[in-house]
Chain A
Amino acid sequence: MIQLENVTKTYPKASRPSLDDVSVGIEKGEFVFFIGPSGSGKSTIIKLLLHEVAPNKGKVIVNSKDVTSMRSWKIPHFRRSIGCVFQDFRLLPNRTAYENVAFALEVIGKTKAVARRVVPEVLELVGLGGKEHRYPHELSGGEQQRVAVARAFVNRPLILLADEPTGNLDPDTSIEIMRLLDRINRTGTTVVMVTHDSNIVNQMRRRVIEIESGRIVRDQPRGVYG
């Protein structure tokens, strides 16, 4: 599903590479944590998978497509097969929960009729039934993140990327979000999550890949934060 082959990424002006000769493979349907201290290069992996940045060396293969050599006009279409959740939710403040999710459908050309059918369903799935018409500021942090998850999942992506999705949430709310991601994972969606929340990693007991100074120092099935 996801394949990094000897990937090196050095940002311009950086003294050392963010990722240094990293190789890793992730199977379809897996749930993987990338952990490590700030600045270790975890988030760079998400950016590489989305093709927000290109590696200096090596290959990034997602859905058996070589992202590194992908023509730039093909990237938007490629991104439709990937859902994304972030620490800061990235919701549109002037749109309701329903409209935020529908927006993601409409801008890739789905009709309003499709949105009317699909959006309530996915909001129900993330546990926001009955709160469709609230604005983000009328929702708690956990609820906002649920809207973000709904938006990421509404296109039924093959892969869900989560960059510190619990970073702004209290422990109890974090656990709820993790249950949600777990449920999405059980539908067959590959979940890749970057975090440094040790509680969560220890509780989930899923594959853990630890990165330090741009190198993989540990790759353990059913691992703990360590």
Chain B
Amino acid sequence: MRVKYVLSEVLVGLWRNVTMTIAMIITMAVSLTMLGASALLYLQANEMKDYYYANIEVAMFLKSDVNDEQRQALDQQLRSDDLVQDYQLETKDKALEKFQTLWRDTPDLVNSVSAEQLPESFRVKLKNPEQYEDFAVKYRDAEGVDEVLDQRELLEKVFGILNSVQTMSLIAAIVMAIAALMLVGNTIQVAAYSKRREVAVMKLVGASNWFIQAPFVLEAVAAGVIGALLGFGILVLGKVFLIDGALQDLTNLLTPLSWDNVLLMLPFMAGAGALVSAVTAWTTLRFYLRV
């Protein structure tokens, strides 16, 4: 009976102040969407780092006039280098092959390039990709070396962009969360005020504190969870229509965004929404329902 009472109080409470409830749910939804997007980006960036760093190479381009002696000297040095895990020589023909697959959609460009125009290079895998600097200093000025290029630098830029997008959505999430919290606090105050007579009688006859507070707290939690469901819906739509849809060409560069990660956001967002609402409501009640 008490559960039924509390639940019906929650429904009545949400309905009594329906515009405020809707405002609360919308801000919650937007805030939690941002939070979810930010968390997804974080997971995604980590997966990408693991993936790319595992496959990362340093390219050591050779001068076009490099001779066999210099090439062999470099080969010797790489073989005995402690920093190096693995390496191979990419000949001009191999470079052309790679170039042709990479630009296969633009035959004009492919046809205009011959193997002679492309540089030879050593493709080097380091034991620890972080030690790139040490490696570059060693070989930069060696005989026959034109340039030492770390793919990592390029990736760092990509990750830098991802990171700032993640930070931005996190900031947006926090700003919206503050608005949502104020709305929750305000809604609870209004609810407590409109039920002040009932609350006064309940205190007088000795209803327990949780019984007095539960309907208010659950009202906020319900709004938080509904907001989280809406936010999750927005994320799913985003995945279907943006990531897998309109932006597919762009997102092919990144590792694919898995449904597992998206689904993981549902408990995360619902939990965050419910917890934050409950704490806010409860704190508000500490001030407005002195027992």
Contacts and interface: CB of A to CB of B under 8 A. Distances in A.
Interface of A: 50, 72-73, 75-80, 82, 84, 90, 92-93, 103-104, 106-109, 111-112, 151, 155
A155 B1 CA distance: 18
B201 A76 contact: no
Contact of A76 (B1, B5, B200, B208): B208
Interface in B190-214: 197-198, 200-209, 211-212
A80 B1 contact: no
Contacts of B18: none
Contact of B207 (A84, A108, A111): A108
Contacts of B157: none
B213 to A, nearest CB: 11
Give the 8 A-B residue pairs with the shortest CB-CB distance, closest first.
A79-B206, A80-B206, A107-B207, A104-B205, A76-B206, A76-B208, A107-B202, A84-B204
Interface of B: 1-2, 5, 197-198, 200-209, 211-212, 291
Contacts of A72: 291
Contacts of A50: 204
A48 to B, nearest CB: 15
B209 A107 contact: no
Contacts of B2: 106, 109
A76 B291 contact: yes
Contact of B206 (A77, A103, A111): A77
Contacts, number: 54
B205 A108 contact: yes
B198 to A, nearest CB: 6
Nearest to A151: B205
13 contacts: A76-B207, A76-B209, A77-B206, A77-B208, A82-B206, A92-B198, A106-B1, A106-B2, A107-B211, A107-B212, A108-B207, A151-B205, A155-B205
Interface centre among B200, B202, B207 (most CB of A within 10 A): B207
B14 to A, nearest CB: 18
Contacts of A103: 198, 201
B210 to A, nearest CB: 9
Contacts of B207: 76, 107-108
Contacts of B205: 79-80, 104, 107-108, 151, 155
Contacts of B197: 90, 92-93
Contacts of A80: 205-206
Interface centre among A78, A109, A112 (most CB of B within 10 A): A109
Interface centre among A50, A76, A79 (most CB of B within 10 A): A76
Nearest to A109: B2
B2 to A, nearest CB: 6
A77 to B, nearest CB: 6
Contacts of A79: 203-206
A109 B207 CA distance: 8
Nearest to A83: B205
Nearest to B208: A76
Contacts of B201: 90, 92, 103-104, 107, 151
A155 B201 CA distance: 14
Contacts of A77: 206, 208
